[in-house]
Amino acid sequence: MMAVLEVPINVFGQRNNFSFSSSRRPPNYACGIRKARSFVLVSATSQSPVQSVEENTSIVSQKFAFPIMVNSCTGKMGKSVIEAAMNAGLDPLPVSFSCEEDSGKIIEVGGKDFELYGPKEREDALAKVFNENPGLIVVDYTVPMAVNDNADLYCKLGVPFVMGTTGGDRERLYKTVKDSNNYAVISPQMGKQVVAFLAAMEYMATQFPGAFSGYSMQVLESHQASKLDISGTAKAVISCFQKLGVSFDLDQVQQIRDPDQQIELVGVPEEYLSGHAFHMYHLTSPDETVSFEFQHNVCGRSIYAEGSIDAAFFLAKKVRSRAEKRLYNMIDVLQEGNMR
């Protein structure tokens, strides 16, 4: 992940001709850092070293094991979460929610077979799993249209859950959890370093409201073609800039889903077209003499999967301690130092 703050050194008398819609290809910060010229570059990189069996055992002994169920294991994120859980020393339960067409099928993930349950069977299946596995934590990476129905079910049965799926009616989602007094971690972003960046943005918005009043903004976000909605991370960052005084509507976000444009315009490495998250925010002063650029790029899904498992460990601890607070986000996880 990389955050970029771009400030022209000689801002007076210069006109900014930056445009996301132009044919100019933005620098690929994921692959390297361009030479300093007229900007200040602040970067943060996250790498996940391969962990040995001994290290995995240590993680579980330090944070305790617990039963975990991942919905949906047929999706790329679900598969990544299962693999991250195994790498952390956990043993995911061999069941998972899926679409009606796949109900009853058995699929293999990480060398383990998982039985799939469609919408009609999911309540009975989850109730049985929860009854047989006290302390169960569910991690949800399904689809936006299933967010609220799944959350309703988790709360109805009292199953603690980590909601990694974006979209759905978020107000209804939070209300469902609060009304049921169920334990949950809900966040539009599970990547640890990205969450830290969002926290910094929120702090700036709270402490310096209106600091960017009058500035115009362009936002470009690029994700794999299968992602249908606007990035939840982009929405969160935009919300911060709105608090800072920038007038911007979500329908102004440039969503890039075409692979050719992602390679040529955005600079996404070809091997990550099926799994990436590139975000660029460019702000310009009213007289166009000052510009700021923020950029954070993620290739692959490991950063989200690992963050989701951190959240699951965190939530399991809260459930076992019978914490008074029930609804959490990834900032809570970060602040408690539960990051591996």
How far is residue 32 from each of residues 8, 25, 46, measured CA to CA in Å?
A: 20, 14, 14
Catalytic entry in 79, 223, 235, 296: 223
What tens digit of pLDDT does each residue of 222-239 get?
999 988 888 888 998 999
CA atoms of 71 and 116, how far apart (whole Å): 9
Domain assignment present for 116: yes
- Does 159 share its domain with 80? yes
Residues 72 and 175 in one domain: yes
Burial tier of 219 (Cβ tally within 10 Å: 0-12, 13-18, 19+):
buried
Please give the pLDDT value at position 49.
Answer: 42
Distance CA 166, CA 233 (A): 9
pTM for the predicted model, two decimal places: 0.72
Would you say residue 51 lies in a domain?
Answer: no
Structural domain includes residue 108: yes
Residue 156 among the catalytic residues: no
Q: Is residue 38 part of a domain?
A: no
Answer yes or no: do 170 and 206 share one domain: no
- Answer whether residue 142 is part of any domain: yes
pLDDT at 45: 35
Q: What is the DSSP string of 250-311?
A: GGG-EEE--HHHIIIII---GGGTTSEEEEEEEEE-TTSS-EEEEEEEEESSHHHHHHHHHH
| R_g (Cα) of the chain, nearest Å | 21
- Asked if residue 306 and residue 287 are part of one domain, the reply reads no
Number of structural domains found in the chain: 2
Residue 26: the pLDDT is: 43
3-class secondary structure, 71: strand
Known active-site residue 178:
no
> Is the distance from CB of 237 to CB of 294 less than 8 angstroms?
yes
Q: Are residues 101 and 220 in the same domain?
A: no
Greatest CA span in the chain, whole angstroms?
70
In sequence order, which ranges of 100-161 are alpha helices (DSSP H)?
122-132, 147-157
Judging by DSSP bridges, how do beta strands 106-109 and 327-328 pair with one another?
Answer: unpaired
Per-residue pLDDT at 338: 52
Same-domain pairing of 171 and 217:
no
Do 179 and 243 lie in a common domain?
Answer: no
| 313 and 187 in a common domain | yes
- Whether the link from the prior residue into 247 is cis, omega within 30° of 0, is no
Is 97 part of a structural domain of the chain? Answer: yes
Does one domain contain both 207 and 264?
yes
Ranges of the chain with pLDDT below 70? 1-63, 338-340
The angle subtended at Cα 207 by Cα 202 and Cα 209, nearest 5°, is: 85
For residues 295 and 306, state if they share a domain: no
Query: Residue 231 and residue 39: Cα distance in Å, rounded?
Result: 27
Instruction: Classify residue 41: in a domain, yes or no.
Output: no
Domain hosting 72: range is: 68-191+302-336
296, amino acid identity: H
In-domain check, residue 15: no
- Which CATH number belongs to the domain containing residue 225 in this structure? 3.30.360.10
Q: Select which of 227, 279, 282, 296 is catalytic.
A: 227
Do 314 and 221 lie in one domain? The reply is no
- Residue 248 has what pLDDT? 97
Query: Within this chain, do residues 87 and 141 fall inside the same structural domain, yes or no?
Result: yes
Q: Which amino acid makes up residue 338? A: N
Q: What is the CATH number of the domain that holds 73?
A: 3.40.50.720
